[in-house]
Chains A and B, each alone.
Chain A
Amino acid sequence: MPSNDSANVSFARTFAAGIWNENPVLRLLLGMCPTLAVTAAVKPALTMGLSVIFVLFCSNIVVSLMRNMLKPHLRILMFTLTISTFVTIADLFLKAFAPVMSETLGPYVPLIIVNCIIICRAEACASKNTLAVSIVDALGMGAGFTLTLCVLAGIRELLATGKVFEIQVMPGAFVPWAAMGMPVGAFITLGLLLGAVNLITRKNP
């Protein structure tokens, strides 16, 4: 039986993997749709990230608990059923308590149902691992996704409006780059970020 220390190290590694080594956006290239669509400003990006963390956390728990009862040919159906339940709850929550944000995010919250990150973690981790590992994995992957979205949104919002989190950062003389708030800005920023990450992680021959 592993000691507490080695278990903690393993949990820390699983969590850290989601942030960097297996970052869902920058390394696995998953969840591109919300990454490109809701990163025009930090607030919606953060809300999307938190929604994904909630759904990932709950679905990983449920999938992990029922992993021994899953019939192989019905597992994708079970994952989708589980994920759609928690996405609907997240959507209702936003509509009830943050209606303006719900409207800003539009169809992208219901679209979490088909987000590859969540189905991928249910299939690759939660359906094969214990509850504790699944929870840590969900939090790590969710945090990695949220951080990436916020960094991307921060850069775009700063260059498109001169503000971050709606707070003026750039000097008055700064001319906003309107294109950064548009889809083209999302593609360019994501491409440059991916390039930077590849440069950092490139292994010397």
Chain B
Amino acid sequence: MLKNVKYFAEQSWLLIAASFVFGLLLAVTNTAWGPMIEQNEINKFNNLASLLLTDASFETALKDVEVDSGKGKKIKTSIKKGVSRDSDCVGWAFVCEGSGFADKIKLVLTVDAAFEKLAGFGVLASNETPGFGDKIKGDYYRNQFVGAPAAQLVLSKTGDDKIIDNEIVAITGATVSSEAVVKTVNNYIKQIKTCMQTEGLLNNAE
């Protein structure tokens, strides 16, 4: 037994020591730059959301709302209220997360004040295939969500992308990424709406 432990230590001490040192180095780097990265993400969220809900400023309405990812995993998100200059509620914005083709896709989703229509989405983070899956950031795909009902959306491979309804036309060559966005939106819309109704936020907005 002791002989085996000694052999293991002889063979792997450098690997263990290096893992510890590199882990420490990454922890220090992450601690130093983490807040800046977080701030950049907040700025990006605000920029994207204010493009979708024109001229709105955002204040947190509900923090740490737990959303089921669909695979049994709970993801926390915050619901932000879009407020106009006259202090009227112009809509709601929140971050959505789902599995894409290559990696997680993070979206900023905005809906109108009554939670009846989508105001659109913006891509916060995605590593989808350049030239194919990353077309979810393009106007062709994103414009189909602007004004679409805040209810169950359906993905179709053919159709007219100019017609705004609950049918979203997939991007050619990027069906998986297109489907991932629709699934993520459907998942969040349903759960966030229920949560906001429970908290009485929707009635207040109306």
Q: Which residues of A contact B (CB under 8 A)?
A: 37, 66, 69-71, 74, 77-78, 81-82, 85, 88-89, 92-93, 95-97, 99, 106-107, 182-183
Contact = CB atoms under 8 A, between A and B. Distances in A.
Contact of B130 (A69, A81, A95, A106): A106
B2 interface: no
Contacts of A37: 130
Given A85-B26, A88-B26, A106-B130, 16 more contacts: A66-B14, A69-B14, A71-B11, A71-B14, A74-B14, A74-B15, A77-B15, A78-B18, A85-B22, A85-B25, A89-B25, A89-B29, A92-B29, A92-B33, A96-B40, A107-B103
- Going nearest first, the 5 A-B pairs with the smallest beta carbon separation are A96-B33, A85-B22, A96-B36, A107-B127, A99-B40
Nearest to B137: A103
Contacts of B103: 107
A41 B147 CA distance: 35
Contacts of A69: 14
Interface string B1-37: 0000000000110110011001001100110010011
Contacts of B131: 182-183
Interface of B: 11-12, 14-15, 18-19, 22, 25-26, 29-30, 33, 36-37, 40, 44, 102-103, 127, 130-131, 134
A81 B33 contact: no
A81 B22 contact: yes
B105 to A, nearest CB: 12
A141 to B, nearest CB: 22
A78 B14 contact: yes
